[in-house]
Amino acid sequence: MTTPHIHLLASGGTISSHHDGSDWHNLTGADLLTRLDESPTNVTVSDVAAGPSSSLSVDDMVAIADEVVAVLASGADGVVVTHGTDTIELTAYVTELRLGTTAGPVVFTGSMRVDSHPEPDGPTNLRHAIAVASSPQARQRGPLICLNGEIHTARQATKVDTTTLDAFVSIPAPISGTISTDDPTFHSTPSRPAGRAHDMRSDVVLISAYPGMTAGHLHAASAGAAGLVLEGFGDINVPANLWGTLLELTEAGTIIVLASRPFTPTFRLDGLGLPTVRGAGGLSAQKARLALMAALGTGDHLAQTMELLDELLDPHESGRE
Ligand code: ASP
């Protein structure tokens, strides 16, 4: 068997942060490869971004995703993206929106400790990510996130802790796989094929409902938006006093996705009789916004927008792998 050709795309984050005693520096992808015990001969490298991932715009994420697409089209067998952990699952999900789930493997990784930490986690995470990207088992799963020996899907990964190496969970499922030496073990079946996004429309607002939120607040924050994601409570329950405003917004043409603070796979809300309101189907509010941006990016035909939105949000029964 020939050794797969892996391309490393570096995009900044803590894994690339190095303090030399007086100043901070951003390491390039080539620098990151020198941190590995054995320099891999099958890995090519380029840089797509630098700095903290909390500063990335959706356009920046699309640019990273499109670079992944280009690298695969030019013949790489797999791609590793080093990325800040603050928004890693969002860029991984944007990559899934652009690429679908059948190409790859594409494996995102990062670190919780900076490169200059006495015991950095970046080198092990990078070695694992290269191994996962080299594995035939990692195909057909969409972009993956590999950190701390765990493998998560882009759809389910969520950063839940900033203080530990064990910073990510897969919501609501068990993690997709694990890696401790050089061979990943997957516990889940490959992903279903997902719809593809061509453009991402930016005028989609995301609002978190809070106790006592007034209709005036909701209206002011969402007026004029093409799309609204409202993160409610429980099983996408939003305060009853907001329903009138939601109705007004849909009548004015705003497409609404109701997300939830805890996991809930609720998707169709036909009972409400509002044809352009959906439940987020288990996606986090942040990812539901990206899905709605992609659906609205299909253009002015409402039927096409709703078709892609339904495909992206539909949890396919339980949303669990
Ligand atoms: N602030 C960092 C970022 O760029 C955090 C990290 O990479 O872990 O997301």
User: Ligand 1 test: best mutation among 16, 27, 53, 60, most atoms within 8 Å of CB?
Assistant: 53
Residues with CB under 6 A from ligand 1: 13-14, 52-54, 84-86, 110, 112
Read off the pTM: 0.94
Cα 171 to ligand 1 centroid, rounded to whole Å: 21
Going along 154-287, which residue ranges are E strands?
157-159, 168-170, 177-178, 185-186, 204-208, 227-232, 255-260, 277-279
The one catalytic residue in 3, 14, 101, 250 is 14
- pLDDT band for position 67 (cuts 50, 70, 90): very high
- Active-site annotation holds for 14: yes
Instruction: Give one word for 104, left, alpha or beta, with left for phi > 0 and alpha for psi -120 to 50.
Output: left
| Mean per-residue pLDDT, 168-187 | 85
Cα 113 to ligand 1 centroid, rounded to whole Å: 9
Work out which ligand 1 atom sits closest to the CA atom of 86: 9
Per-residue pLDDT at 271 exceeds 70: no
| Mean per-residue pLDDT, 234-238 | 90
Per-residue pLDDT at 59 exceeds 80: yes
| Mean per-residue pLDDT, 260-289 | 88
Cα 132 to ligand 1 centroid, rounded to whole Å: 22
Q: Measured at the alpha carbon of residue 28, what is the angle toward residues 103 and 155, in degrees to the nearest 5?
A: 35
Tens digit of each residue's pLDDT (9 = 90 or more) over 202-226: 999 999 999 999 999 999 999 889 9
Contacts of 252 (CB under 8 A, 6+ apart): none
| Mean per-residue pLDDT, 302-311 | 94
Cα 14 to ligand 1 centroid, rounded to whole Å: 5
